[in-house]
Amino acid sequence: MKISFRRIAGFLLIGFLLEAAFFAGVMLAPQVTGFLRVQGSGGHAPLLDEAWGVAEDLFYGKLPTEQERTYGAVRGMMESFKDPYTVFIEPPQTELQSQQLSGKFGGIGANVRRENDGSIVLSPFPDRPAAQAGVKEGDVLVKIDSTTITPEMKFEEVTSLLRGEVGTPVKVEVDRAGQKLAFNITRAEISVPSVTWRMLSQAPGVGYLKLNIFAQTSKDELIKGIEDLRKQGAQKLIFDLRDNGGGLLDSAIDIASQFVDGVVVSEKHRDGSQQDFKAEATGAARDLPLVVLVNGGTASASEIVSGALQDRGRAVLVGQKTYGKGSVQNVVPLSDGSSIHVTVAEWLTPKGRQITGKGLEPDVAVELTQDDAANGRDPQLDRAVTAFR
C-alpha cells in the first residue's frame, strides 16, 4: 500500500516538543511525498499471538483493549531499533505536531503551560475567544467539558481537548484564586506567528528576529520582518534560535537562504550516498552583519541553519552549545491517524561536520542562569549586540 509521508527536521523528543508552552490549537504541513511498503509479518505473528494467548489466560486484572495491545506492540517494535527518534506516535500527538507546523488551528486562543506542581495554567491571547469569554492570565485549568484535568494527565491530552473544529463550543472550568469559574467558549481559527521582531532600544541600528519553529509560514514571515526592520533603520541583525526545536526541512533551507548562498546542509544516507541542499538564488538579508543566538534547546532544523551560517563565516554564534540532533526522520501517517517516525539519514554541515551527538559550539560562549531569567536579564542578547564582525 502507498502512504504519503512528511519530511520533518524537527526535534522529535516528543515530550520536549509538546511540553514547551504549547498553544491551544494548530494545522497540517505536507512536505516530501513517498511511500511505505508494508511487508507481511511472516513467522513473527504466531509468536505474538502465542504470547498474547498466554497473558490473556493467566493475567490477574483488567485486560488491555485491542487498541492498547496493538499500540503497545507497535511501540515496543519501534523501541527495538534503539534510536530515540524512531518512534510510534498515537493520534492525538500526531495531530498536535501536524497542527504546530501549519501555523494555524481551531482553538480557544490561549497559551497553555504546565507548572512545577503539575497544574495546567492558561494565558489567553488578547481579543481571542478565551479572553473574550472572561479567562484571565494565571487561571488554572480544572475541567474541559466533562473531563477533569489532573496533574497525571499527559500534556497533549489536555491541549487536544481544547482544540477542535472552528465554530464548535467547549466548556472550560478554571480555578482563580480558589474560586471555580466556568466559561462557554466557541473555538475560532487561531494563527500563531513563528517569527517575531523588533528594533533593540539598547542598540541603535540593530534589528532582532526570533524564530520559534520552522513552519510552512516561516519564510514569508521572516522576509516580512526583515523588510520591516530595514524600514526602521536596521543595519545589523540578531537572529534568535534559542529553544527552537526544529520543524520542516524545506523551511530550514528557505530560512538559511535569506542569509547565505551555496550548500546549506548535506544529507547522508545509509548506503553512503549524500544529497546537498542548496540555498535559493536570492535572499532578503545577505548583506547585513549577523549574529545568531543559540542554546541547548537549539536543535535539528535550527542546527542546520546555525551550522550553515557558522561554516560559511556568515554569522557569529553566541550563547551555549546546541542540542546535537542531526538525524532525518520520515513521518509516516498510519491508517488510524497515528504515525511512525523513522530515522532515514543524517545531516552534515557544509564543511562535513556531524551534528548528531555533538551539537555546535558557539563562537562566543555566554551562560544564561536561572537567576538571570527570573530577574529579566539576558546576558546572551547583551553580548550579541557587541559580537558583530
Out of 139, 240, 243, 311, the active site residue is: 311
Does the active-site annotation cover 180? no
**Phi, psi (degrees; rounded to nearest 5) at 181:** -130, 140
Out of 268, 325, 338, 339, the active site residue is: 325
Q: Which strands, in side-by-side order, build the sheet including 206-211?
A: 195-199, 206-211, 236-240, 290-294, 316-319, 364-365
Does the active-site annotation cover 278? no
User: What DSSP string runs through 275-341?
Assistant: EEEE--S--SSTTS-EEEEE-TT--THHHHHHHHHHHTT--EEEES------EEEEEEE-TTS-EEE
Does the active-site annotation cover 271? no
Out of 123, 251, 300, 338, the active site residue is: 300
Q: Longest Cα pair distance anywhere in the chain, in angstroms?
A: 74
Torsion, Cα 13 19 24 25, to 10 degrees, reads 0
Strand partners, 386: none
Cell digits of residue 71? 499500540
Range list of H helices, 59-127: 66-79, 91-102
Catalytic residues: 300, 311, 325
